[in-house]
Amino acid sequence: MKKKNLCIAFSTQKGGAGKTTLTVLAASYLHYVKGYDVAVVDCDYPQYSMAEMRKRDLKMATEDDYYKSLAYEQFTRLQKKMYPVVKSLPEKAPETAEALMAKGKYDIIFFDLPGTVNKEGVIYTLSLMDYIFSPISADRVVLESTLRFASRLNDNIITTGKSRVKGLYLIWNLVDGREKTELYEVYEQVIAELHLPLLKTFLPDSKRFRRELPSSHKALFRSTMFPAGKALLKGSNLDTLIEEILEIIKI
């Protein structure tokens, strides 16, 4: 099947909503579990969270025999390398992606953008995405900020045909199961009135989403070198979310 070089961003107007975590979880699951060829352009200047995570992952895999062995076993089994994580500035992200495509073919290129549209180049780069997924949480400040962001993109870029974006979708993140009742119903009514599509799958509020390569060798979840561990995958809804996304992007 021909590589599509689909450009996708988990993007939001508010920091701490989980966009970087979702990017790394989706990229690693699709690359290491589902068999797709993935690349990441990290333009979340100046912190470059994913590029820094890759550095930590490589350091751990180099210095720790357990992870070194795990990486070798994975490479031997899959016969594929780690996906590239390339740093860029938001305004330079399209050029960085073009350079990546010139070196190899990818099914999906993820863009990790800054948590504000006010930085130079963010809106332009978003207009070049094929799909945008915006994580939201039941925090009034976060939700209102993200809905304003999504509505602005939808009204000014997507529905006007001034971009290549085929769809923008919201994702409930950090969901406390005890609260997924009337509060969410009220919020979802507002979302429906704004004509913003919302994915069926939600991600629970769980410490597992912050678990990186532990020196204790316990099951890992968030890594650029390995997919989420099977023991922690259960109940995370990550696998269900990925399947729903794949159904949308049709790849």
The pLDDT of residue 117 is above 90: no
pLDDT digits (tens, 9 = 90+) for 132-191: 999 998 888 888 888 998 998 888 888 888 889 999 999 999 888 665 667 788 899 999
> SS3 letters for the chain?
CCCCCEEEEECCCCCCCCHHHHHHHHHHHHHHHCCCCEEEEECCCCCCHHHHHHHHHHHHHHHCHHHHHHHHHHHHHHCCCCCCEEECCHHHHHHHHHHHHHHCCCCEEEEECCCCCCCCCHHHHHHCCCEEEEEECCCHHHHHHHHHHHHHHHHHHHCCCCCCCCEEEEEECCECCCCCCHHHHHHHHHHHHCCCCECCCCCECCHHHHCCCCCCCCCCCCCCCCCCCHHHHCCCCHHHHHHHHHHHHCC
pTM comes to 0.92
Catalogue all structural domains in the chain, each as residue range(s) with its CATH number: 6-246 (3.40.50.300)
Q: For residues 120 and 202, which has the higher predicted lDDT (pLDDT)?
A: 202
Q: For residues 251 and 9, which has the higher predicted lDDT (pLDDT)?
A: 9
